[in-house]
Amino acid sequence: MKKSVLITGAARGIGRACALKFAREGYAVTVGYVRASEQAESLEREIQKMGGECLTVAADMRDRQAVHHMVQLAQAHFGTPDVLVCNAGIAQQKLFQDISEEDWEIMFSVNVGGMYRVIQEALPDMIARGSGSIVTVSSMWGQVGASCEVHYSASKAAVIGMTKALAKELGLSGIRVNCVSPGVIDTEMNAMHGAEVMRELAEETPLNRIGTAEEAADAIYLLASEQARFITGQVLGVNGGFVI
């Protein structure tokens, strides 16, 4: 049986680029998504045209039963995932004093709770097999903080803390856990900043441009692959030098 990967938040942006990257590398791909059904179906067709195998599953990362169902379907179709990419996430810009209890709870329930739920669901079979690679997706703002995005920054910092702790806990089970921390990437999520802000962010980046989803996906694949077999608990910045 070919290797398989389960990617959350895979219908768009970095997740979509990851799905295509892993498919090109011969992996069977399970695409997790929540609302972007048309994009998920389009991605499935694209992977199938490449000669790859793809399963799409709708799952709200805040819903334990939905996450359980997604993992069960992935395992039923392709076996225990060799790689789990925890990419699902949301962002929001607000002054700290305007962040509501609901804003805070939703941010953490998706960005941190979603990662907690999907790893917990996938882990027993990975441990039983004695191998696996988990790659989480944080943000450079989880490393240095972003004004007007305190709840987002805090949630992405938590992703980094979870990654490091899990790497220590799961190493003896043969499971590696690493994190990719993207900078300013050309995705729908970052489009909320507007063209002028994106230009300013590009100018602040030492490489003088914003990154692509494909560049982030390449880093995620690298950490998941055998090329990184002695790497665990690390945070790889894909930010063009914005954070050094």
Rounded Cα distance between 26 and 20, Å, is 10
Question: Residue 214, exposed/middle/buried by CB under 10 A (0-12, 13-18, 19+)?
Answer: middle
User: Which tens digits make up the pLDDT trace of 64-80?
Assistant: 999 999 999 999 999 99
pLDDT for 1: 77
pTM of the predicted protein model:
0.97
The number of CA neighbours under 13 Å toward the Cβ of 55 is 20
The strand ranges marked E within the chain are: 4-7, 28-33, 54-58, 83-86, 132-137, 175-182, 235-238
Say what percent of the chain tops pLDDT 70.
Answer: 98
User: Which tens digits make up the pLDDT trace of 151-195?
Assistant: 999 999 999 999 999 999 999 999 999 999 999 999 777 666 678
Say what percent of the chain tops pLDDT 90.
Answer: 94
- Any idea which residues carry the catalytic annotation? 152
Rounded Cα distance between 238 and 99, Å, is 28
pLDDT for 198: 87
pLDDT-derived band at 124 (thresholds 50, 70, 90) equals very high
**Nearest Cα to Cα of residue 136 among 73, 182, 174:** 182
Mean pLDDT of the chain: 96
Rounded Cα distance between 153 and 140, Å, is 8
List Cβ neighbours of 15 (8 Å cut-off, separation of 6 or more).
7, 8, 9, 31, 85, 87, 88
pLDDT-derived band at 99 (thresholds 50, 70, 90) equals very high
